Structure 1
Amino acid sequence: MGGGSTNAVPIVSKIYCSTSLTTLMIRKRPNVVNGGGFVVTDCSHNIVFIVDGCGMLGAKGELMVRDCDGASLLFLRKKGGIIQALSTHNRWNGYSMDYQGTNKLLFSLTDPKPCLATRSAIRIQVEPKSHSKDCDFEVDGSFTDRACVIIDRRGNIAAQVGVEMMGNKDFYHVMVQPGYDQAFVIGVIAVLDNIYGESTAC
């Protein structure tokens, strides 16, 4: 598998697609109610993104990614209803947020339910859907061990999660390859965090 892409792959916005490798530091937000979320900084400790969990938003299965000024960028919602209950996968939808509060579906993430005997990969489909039945991205590895990658459909690594301090999984890093949308990557990380009952989950 290669790493990186020479062309920008904007999903939330092209302003979050850097031309160079970017390392983002993620720290669980301290001293807040359950489901408080986490803060994302650059290597100079400047806040880049803020993720609010259900404890901050007041609703289970809802997450918000904000920019450094606190403006809403990405609203993430776990799909419910009877069809979802009967499905073998949990589905999350990621919506863009604008200044008027309206939103547009940007991507969906499907997570195999724990009851499945063989747990398949977490898959991500970007909207609008391509003609191909293949997913656009997959998560490979163990998020709980902070050892996973987000891979695009060509097998390129878009982002890689790793532990920053030995034994401290509340503080870790995400390396985003050139051209990939950092806000989208953080949105995926927020959903993974919630799926595995970590800082955003109530």
Structure 2
Amino acid sequence: MTKVHPNAAAAATCSDHEKTSSIDGEVPVVLTVWKKSLLLNCNGFTVFDCQGNLVFRVDNYSARSKDEILLMDAAGTPLLTIRRKRLGLADKWLVFEGESGVKPRYSAKRQVNLLKAKCLAQVMSLSPPSSSGGESKYEIGGSYTQRRCEVYDEKRRRVAEIKKKEAAVGGVAFGADVFRLIVHPDMDSALAMAFIILLDQMFGSSSS
């Protein structure tokens, strides 16, 4: 049976593009995202690095938690909270630091403009503009159902990608529940994982 993540022996044979970021931050971080909770009878995500180490986890403990999802690190420490505000076609999502829910960092909305069909969603920073430039704004394009997406920042730089994952040996393809998240040096990995949660809320089985 094909393994979702490598064991200690297999980690040594990881290809260069699947190794984690170098100290100087020039190499993209490639993570394996498994749409499966570590807890039984729960929905969520489990995220590994190339060596098979747990990086992030998402666990929905009850049906009512679908409108509030918590992204945690490997130790279970809350990193980001994603909350959905149901407004019909204009639903929006807010991303908070940790689990305080006091002041949102980002606001996300699904693209409904038919003239921008290639754009799936937009994410806008709600923090004050940085000293180096304007506000942070991200645009996500592609197809989440096909696990083929790209994330661009306000300068149209590609900062993250979602791609299908294939087994290292034999080229056996995984199903849609296992895919790769490629995070470029200018992007925070936790925020990139939050984008996957947002896309799954907007276009996945949890969107209903």
TM range (shorter): 0.7 to 0.9
Q: What SS does the corresponding residue of 2:177 show, helix, strand or coil?
A: strand
Q: What SS does the corresponding residue of 1:59 show, helix, strand or coil?
A: helix
Q: After superposition, what is the alpha-carbon deviation per residue over 1:64-117, rounded to whole angstroms, capped at 9, x for unaligned?
A: 10011001111100113xxx34xx52210000016xx4643110111135xx65
Does residue 59 (structure 1) correspond to residue 60 (structure 2)? The answer is: no
Quote the Cα distance in structure 2 between the aligned partners of 1:183 and 1:40.
11
The structural deviation recorded for 1:52 is 2.4
Q: What SS does the corresponding residue of 1:174 show, helix, strand or coil?
A: strand
| Partner residue, 1:5 | none
Q: Percent identity?
A: 23
Structure 1 outlier segments of 4+, above 2 Å: 30-34, 55-60, 101-104, 116-121, 129-135
Unaligned runs of 5+ in 1: 1-16
Instruction: Determine which of 47, 54, 73 is the counterpart of 1:47.
Output: 54
For the pair shown, the structure with the greater C-alpha radius of gyration is: 2
AA in 2 matched with 1:37: G
> Counterparts of 1:15-164 in structure 2 under 5 Å?
19=25, 20-29=27-36, 32-33=40-41, 36-53=43-60, 55-56=61-62, 58-80=64-86, 84-85=87-88, 88-97=89-98, 101=100, 103-112=102-111, 120=117, 121=119, 122-128=121-127, 130=129, 136-164=137-165
| Partner residue, 1:7 | none
Q: What SS does the corresponding residue of 1:169 show, helix, strand or coil?
A: coil
The structural deviation recorded for 1:61 is 1.7
The structural deviation recorded for 1:58 is 3.4
The structural deviation recorded for 1:154 is 0.7
The structural deviation recorded for 1:119 is 6.1
The structural deviation recorded for 1:32 is 4.1
Length-normalised TM-score, structure 1: 0.74
By relative contact order (CA 8 Å, sep 6+), the higher-ranking structure is: 1
The structure-2 alpha-carbon separation of the partners of 1:192 and 1:167, relative to structure 1 and needing over 3 Å to count, comes to same
AA in 2 matched with 1:124: V
Length-normalised TM-score, structure 2: 0.72
Quote the Cα distance in structure 2 between the aligned partners of 1:90 and 1:148.
21
Greater fraction helix? 2
Greater fraction strand? 1
Q: What SS does the corresponding residue of 1:188 show, helix, strand or coil?
A: helix
Q: CA RMSD in A?
A: 2.9
Quote the Cα distance in structure 2 between the aligned partners of 1:135 and 1:106.
10
Unaligned runs of 5+ in 2: 1-22, 167-172
> Counterparts of 1:183-202 in structure 2 under 5 Å?
183-198=190-205
